[in-house]
Amino acid sequence: MTTKRLLLLLSGTAATVAVVAGCSSGNAAAPTSIPAPSPSAASLPHDGAPKVEHPLPASVLSGDPCQDALTSDQLKQILGSAPQGKRDDNAALGRACNWDADAGVGVGYDTQTHEGLSGVYANTKPQASVWHELKPIQGFPAAAHSSEKQGAAQEFCQVSVGIRDDLSFDASLYLSQANIGVADPCELAARVADMVVTNLRQKAGG
């Protein structure tokens, strides 16, 4: 998919929503990682996860993802509108938020496992039906993945980004029925993750 085509898919009219993302009955923000026992900081990263060379302060994930993760303008680019975010926290992982219109997008902060991307590599990668190591997003290591089976893997993708060796976040996106087989959900989820990184860096003052 060309960059121009991708930007068109992410730019916002109500009609675009039905093309880019939908299937809002799913849980767009639910991380697929299964938390493992927390190792000491000295043992991170592990299981092949890349090291975060220029970490952000842990405080950037201390807020409410419904308020901090994506701006209204960014939501309009992704969904064609800026719906109210709905918290969908996971006690084992951390705070999460879903935004649903005709589209579905979600962001989850993994602040509880203290494993960062290492937990994703150790627990999610072996089960994934889709797994792609991505180019760093603004310098932060990232992987796109889905554990959905068969055709469902073409609808949904989640991108996990390490902002520290011990902290990460997930950006998830569901495609609409009209766009299944046309757009790559992992490519679009990576664009959402890039937006989140921009906001977290601004929060850190960088």
The domain of 162 spans: 3-204
Asked if pLDDT for residue 107 goes beyond 70, the answer is yes
Question: Lowest-pLDDT range, 30-39, 66-75, 86-95?
Answer: 30-39
Q: What is the pLDDT of residues 142-194, one digit of tens each?
A: 999 999 876 566 789 999 999 999 999 999 998 877 777 888 899 999 999 99
Distance CA 173, CA 159 (A): 9
Q: What one-letter code names the amino acid at 67?
A: Q
Distance CA 189, CA 91 (A): 24
Q: How confident is the model at residue 42 (pLDDT cuts 50, 70, 90)?
A: low
* Angle at the Cα of 149 from the Cα atoms of 148 and 154, rounded to 5 degrees: 70
Residue 24 carries which DSSP code? T
Evaluate whether 140 touches 162 at the Cβ level (below 8 Å). yes
Comparing CA positions, the residue from 181, 163, 183 lying closest to residue 53 is 163
Q: How many domains does the chain have?
A: 1
DSSP 155-170: TEEEEEEEEETTEEEE
Q: What angle do CA 138, 141, 146 make, to 5 degrees?
A: 115
Cis (ω within 30 of 0) for the bond into 65? Answer: no
